[in-house]
């Protein structure tokens, strides 16, 4: 069951301004649950996050790095869209932050924070 026919690059080039609602691209999605967990670093573990999206929610799946001042973000767009287009009930994976933290700006050393994500979908 295909829930929509969009690609990430197609959406970015076709949509000026704000991202449309989830229901525009995936009308059968009733709820999208995105769970984010980050690896602990230097004795500090960022809080886990849960984002529950409903049809009026924006179809944007980019989340900022939780480390203060980091210029990076985690883009789950391709994973979420692949999940929704394939009609699977869920997907999980890991990503590394490619941003730079303030104390590493002079060297350009990448943040490297690790995100573990789990996405589940409920359809009508």
pLDDT digits (tens, 9 = 90+) for 25-44: 899 999 999 999 999 888 78
Domain that holds residue 90: 20-123
End-to-end CA distance of the chain: 12
What is the per-residue pLDDT across 71-107, written as a single tens digit (0 to 9) for each? 999 999 999 999 988 888 999 999 999 999 999 999 9
Residue 13 covered by a domain: no
For 62-107, the DSSP string reads EEE-SSTT---EEE-HHHHHHHHHHT-SEEEEEEE---B-GGGTTT
- pLDDT above 90 covers a percentage of the chain that reads 71
Contacts of 9 (CB under 8 A, 6+ apart): none
Is residue 43 situated within a structural domain? Answer: yes
Residue 119 placed within a domain: yes
pLDDT band at 16 (very low <50, low <70, confident <90, very high): low
Question: 11 lies in a domain?
Answer: no
Residue 51 has pLDDT above 90, yes or no: yes
Residue 115 has pLDDT above 70, yes or no: yes
Where residue 6 falls among pLDDT bands split at 50, 70, 90?
A: very low
How far apart are alpha carbons 100 and 81 in whole angstroms? 27
Q: Is residue 9 part of a domain?
A: no
Confirm whether 69 is domain-assigned: yes
The count of structural domains within the chain is 1
pTM of the model: 0.81
- With a cut of 70, say whether residue 45 has pLDDT above it: yes
The predicted model gives 117-122 an average pLDDT of 96
Q: Evaluate whether 26 touches 52 at the Cβ level (below 8 Å).
A: no
């Amino acid at each position: 069951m295909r829930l929509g026919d969009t690609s990430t690059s197609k959406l970015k080039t076709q949509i000026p301004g704000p991202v449309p609602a989830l229901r525009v691209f995936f009308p059968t999605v009733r709820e999208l649950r995105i769970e984010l967990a980050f690896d602990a670093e230097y004795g500090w573990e960022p809080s886990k996050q849960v984002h529950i999206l409903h049809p009026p929610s924006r179809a944007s799946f980019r989340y900022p790095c939780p480390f203060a001042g980091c210029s990076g973000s985690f883009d789950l767009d391709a994973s979420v869209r692949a999940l929704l287009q394939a009609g699977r009930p869920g997907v999980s994976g890991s990503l590394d932050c490619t941003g730079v933290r303030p104390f590493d700006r002079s060297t350009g050393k990448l943040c490297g924070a690790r995100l573990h994500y789990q996405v589940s979908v409920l359809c009508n």
